[in-house]
Structure 1
Amino acid sequence: MPPDADTFDYVIVGSGAAGSVLANRLTADGTATVCVLEAGPPDRNPWIHIPAGFIKTLADPGVTWQFKTEPLAMTGGRRIATTQGRTLGGGSSVNGMIYNRGQPADLDHWAQRGNRGWGYQDCLPYYRRSENRVGFGEDNRGRSEGGIPVTDMDWINPISEAFIAGCVGMGIPRNPDYNSGDQAGVGYFQRAIQNGRRVSAATAFLKPARSRRNLEVRTNARASAILFEGKRATGIRYVTAPGAPAKQVMARREVILSSGTVNTARLLQISGVGPAELLGQLGVPVVQALRGVGANFRDHYASRFVMRAKPGTETLNGLARGLNLGLQVARWGLKRPSILATAPSHVHVFWKSFEGLDAPDLQCVFTPGSYAEGKVYVLDDYPGVTAGAWQHRPESHGWVKARSTNVFEDPEINPNYLSDAMDVRVHLGGMRLLRRMLNTPELGRFLEAETLPGPSVESDDELLDFAKKNGSTTYHLIGTARMGPETDPTAVVNDRLLVHGMQALRVVDASIMPSMPSANTYATTLMIAEKAADLILGRQAAAAA
């Protein structure tokens, strides 16, 4: 190793959900030294910590990667923003704060694919470890003081209650705890908000650990290459600005990639680990040919319906303006329920695209506010409500490919939304379910007309055309470093999260998910990092639930 290089036991690339958990757990006993490299700045932007501030941070390149997909036929030729966090806390500093574990069958499927120790009962102790459930819950909920506080919605709008009542009238049961292991039903989301403020992974895990002498965090440090000696990862080269001289930090034990589904795949590729053909195009010498790096990329694709509310109806549209907004700010300052301390989605519905299914294959969301057509989280100037739906486990999958070795050039991102016939069928079923839920008698006293897509859009072809032109990401990117046995030619890491054919190189983030969980990805990413910490430290796995 170069004599002037900084050297630690572990180097973690990325301080998001996974990186923050790992930084905390790996330094807890004081024996191992850890360096965390974060490509973005410290999380001092005040909008990060105000829950409603996600509207601001999503569009702010100062704290996000402003990634966009390739223009696709199934998205009407549009490039869709797949924004990811780029600050301490990563996505957990800019996401919708929803805590959603998904269905037990998701993880059982992972185990059935040859990933030992990744079934639901194996992973449940790690969900518990990462969570501090504030409120009611069954024995399978976490009460860890060192976890993410998961709280219940405290700002309730009468329209949301009417929406829930309408769903119950349709035969969808009210479910007070969709994280109990039984997901089906309708109710309010649980979220990572406490005392009116977002609690990111950086706040919950990284900040408490930064007082330890054995942890160093370097911000504005964009990883540009993994360093190798033969097949062994020995460190990371990084840059602080375009054209700035490269620096490097070395790892005695392991290099751990926790930079997210897009950046982890790209960093592996530009460092010589990936499909041989792509590496040749990039002019990168092959360290390890793995065709699965960047492949198996999946995301949830959502369509949203908007209804205009009757004049005088109180929705977010009116509460977020003028004197009303001032009153909401005052309530937030007093730590009272306020629109500033809510998640973007208020009500969940986990249900079925068609009758006869054994378990929900859809996630639907409802918000007592409406957003302008074609704009990201910009409220309409009239009162309204929004409901959206997406398929739990899409079969459509695409890729992430580096365009060059320049880490300031965004990679090619192609999710191939709705390219699978079953995905189209389920998506259409979800859109029809949305329309039924928005037209119940219980909601009728509040709403007057559907404005998007509008009642004239009725046939499957018309609905699919609307989905192509108006659908969007839910920012749930997974799969580009898929976990699987060495016999799986598409697998990148084994069930210990070590890169196949390599030494001292591990991936710990959402990119290792073999398939999409029936959920937002945040809770499962936290769980993955908790389990990975035990694997890295050689600890016996937590006793299965």
Structure 2
Amino acid sequence: MSQQTFDYVVVGAGAAGCVIASRLSEDAKTSVCLLEAGPPDHSVLIRAPAGVVAMVPTRLNNYAYETVPQHGLGGRRGYQPRGKVLGGSSSINAMLYVRGHRWDYDHWAELGNAGWSYDEVLPFFRRSENNERFGPDGFHGRGGPLNVADLRSPSPINQAFLLAAANQGISRNEDYNGAEQFGSFHYQVTQKNGERCSVASAYLTPHRSRPNLHVETGTVASRICFDEGRAVGVEFLKGGQLRAIRARREVIVCGGTFGSPQLLMLSGIGPAHALQRHGIPVLHDLPGVGQNLQDHIDYVQAWLARSNTPTFGVSLRGIGRIAKALFEWRRHRTGLITSPFAESGAFARSRSDVAVPDLQLIFAVAIVDDHARKMHLGHGFSCHVSVLRPKSRGSVTLASRDPRSAPVIDPAFFSHPDDMALMLKGAHLMQSILGDHALAPYRGRRMLYPVRPSDEAHLEADIRQRSDSQYHPVGTCKMGPVHDTGAVVDAKLRVHGVSGLRVADASIMPTLVGGNTSAPAVMIGEKAAAMIRTGGA
């Protein structure tokens, strides 16, 4: 590096880290170094939205973590893909732009986190956004770095899904990120001109020429350095060598729900007994580090489609369609390659007396089995249903002192019985929609289904056999007041018990939001940068 000391060192170039590094470096007098373990984001698989199917099931730009065996999943290990590249998971995900419900953020504020109510975080959502269809208005922004758009070439089968959902009581909603979340809709996506708009391409790429912004890829952070209880730098591995960089003002950890608690614990911040087990000197006994893990548990059912149904699939016809679609995408940035497979969906209530939607549906124009790691001949469609606010709580702990080792991930899926009860309601709702007459022209043979769909015991057994993460882990560096023994950071995202150190990513969420977590992570980055720039308070 040409410079070894910066004002701010940001660890992790995921959704929040890219935002923070970009926003802080807007001040030409402020120097920022952004460290990322993965490579640059140059791959065409990142730019092409359909490339998600090549990255999520594999180790391409992906940590591809596994959980410990899950009792609630019949002893299976769960799969946890996370982005390992500039942009983090925003470079490999399905790009769905979802904020969650007003209630989620008001609940954070009620838990003692001043400044995090919906009305207080909404300006940061709007600041980040350039919405091609909505705004500027009370809910949406124009002119922000992150482009939000309608799908360019959605399959006509989505209209049948939306009609089926309406027939089952879930009416059409044109803006699920607006005044009302409940309803069915085409998802908006973080896409621009037919290409993925990752947080790296939105916030970093246009500003890489700033002399005060240094981005270092291929770096594995191994320890935060402290001087008398203050964070003053970061040690990291690069090319097999241990190096260090200093921070004049702050170190900001943005390693995500798995990476951030791992780095804190490697640095001596965490539950004392867990650190001592690995011979790590205890700098500050902070029991909440790595605890409070929450994730959306997800269950999929799928059907084969009738011939000529416009869906993805494995067949000679499908190969021909993809070859033609690649040519179309290269020339016009339209067609199948602009699809993230997940194209429409719904937010639903499990009962009529539920005030806030507690189930999410995602309709995919392909057969999705085991995170697309199991392929099937033929064409089809799938639907996911997720429990939005699970009561199960898990943990992230250290496997070893080696920062290159994967952490021990235990989501404890279905450890709370209410989660299975709600999932069963969601599965029945999904079956009603997929079996609705509106989808009859497209429906072929059942594929991924319980043996007896209407039998509760068979349905629960199928859920335990095939459900897994919807890729929305949060909560392992919980935000909360100092009297909350499980809290790791305060409402300004400063780590309790030390100085000069913040955590800013999805790990700070005290509770999981009712929706996808990429857009909320961008909001957290925007809010963190604003707090730091206005005096660091």
- Fold-level similarity (TM above 0.5): yes
CA distance in 2, matches of 1:138, 1:398: 39
Q: Give the drift of 1:539.
A: 6.0
CA distance in 1, matches of 2:231, 2:409: 26
Q: 1:93 to 1:375 in 2, by over 3 A?
A: closer
- Give the one of 196, 201, 204 matched to 1:203: 201
Q: Aligned residue for 1:98?
A: 96
Q: 1:345 to 1:377 in 2, by over 3 A?
A: farther
- What is the DSSP-based 3-state SS (H/G/I as helix, E as strand, rest coil) of the residue aligned with 1:166? helix
Q: Give the drift of 1:314.
A: 3.1
Q: Aligned residue for 1:234?
A: 232
Q: Give the drift of 1:389.
A: 0.2
Q: 1:400 to 1:319 in 2, by over 3 A?
A: farther
CA distance in 1, matches of 2:75, 2:351: 29
- What is the DSSP-based 3-state SS (H/G/I as helix, E as strand, rest coil) of the residue aligned with 1:136? coil
- Give the one of 393, 398, 421 matched to 2:394: 398
Q: 1:76 to 1:418 in 2, by over 3 A?
A: same
Aligned CA-pair RMSD: 1.8
Pairing 1:520–2:516 present: yes
The answer to whether the 8 Å contact 1:24/1:209 transfers is yes
CA distance in 2, matches of 1:32, 1:387: 47
- Give the one of 34, 47, 54 matched to 1:49: 47
Greater shift, 316-325 or 15-24, is seen at: 316-325
- Give the one of 477, 483, 498 matched to 1:487: 483
The one-letter code sitting in structure 1 at the alignment partner of 2:19 is V
Pairing 1:299–2:295 present: yes
The answer to whether the 8 Å contact 2:151/2:338 transfers is no
- Give the one of 221, 231, 240 matched to 2:219: 221
The answer to whether the 8 Å contact 2:103/2:118 transfers is yes
Pairing 1:460–2:450 present: no
CA distance in 1, matches of 2:228, 2:497: 11
The answer to whether the 8 Å contact 2:474/2:507 transfers is yes
The answer to whether the 8 Å contact 1:50/1:340 transfers is yes
Q: Aligned residue for 2:154?
A: 156
CA displacement, residues 105-151 of structure 1 (integer Å, 9 cap, x when unaligned):
00000000000010000000000011110113471343343421000
CA distance in 2, matches of 1:181, 1:500: 35
Q: Give the drift of 1:66.
A: 2.0
- What is the DSSP-based 3-state SS (H/G/I as helix, E as strand, rest coil) of the residue aligned with 2:69? coil
CA distance in 1, matches of 2:495, 2:94: 31
Pairing 1:263–2:259 present: yes
Q: Aligned residue for 1:279?
A: 275
The answer to whether the 8 Å contact 2:129/2:141 transfers is yes
Pairing 1:358–2:321 present: no
Pairing 1:86–2:88 present: no
Pairing 1:531–2:522 present: no
Q: Give the drift of 1:396.
A: 0.5
Q: Aligned residue for 1:369?
A: 366
Q: Where does the alignment leave 5 or more consecutive residues of structure 1 unmatched?
A: none
The answer to whether the 8 Å contact 2:103/2:356 transfers is no
Alignment of 1:57-68 (within 5 A): 57-68=55-66
CA distance in 2, matches of 1:448, 1:59: 26
Give percent identity, aligned residues only.
37
CA distance in 2, matches of 1:46, 1:315: 22
Q: Where does the alignment leave 5 or more consecutive residues of structure 2 unmatched?
A: none
- Give the one of 34, 37, 57 matched to 1:36: 34
Q: Aligned residue for 2:339?
A: 342
The answer to whether the 8 Å contact 1:298/1:477 transfers is yes
Q: 1:187 to 1:310 in 2, by over 3 A?
A: same
The answer to whether the 8 Å contact 2:304/2:443 transfers is yes
CA distance in 1, matches of 2:173, 2:363: 15
Q: 1:156 to 1:40 in 2, by over 3 A?
A: closer
The answer to whether the 8 Å contact 2:451/2:458 transfers is no
Alignment of 1:371-520 (within 5 A): 371=368, 373-374=369-370, 376=372, 379-454=375-450, 456-520=452-516
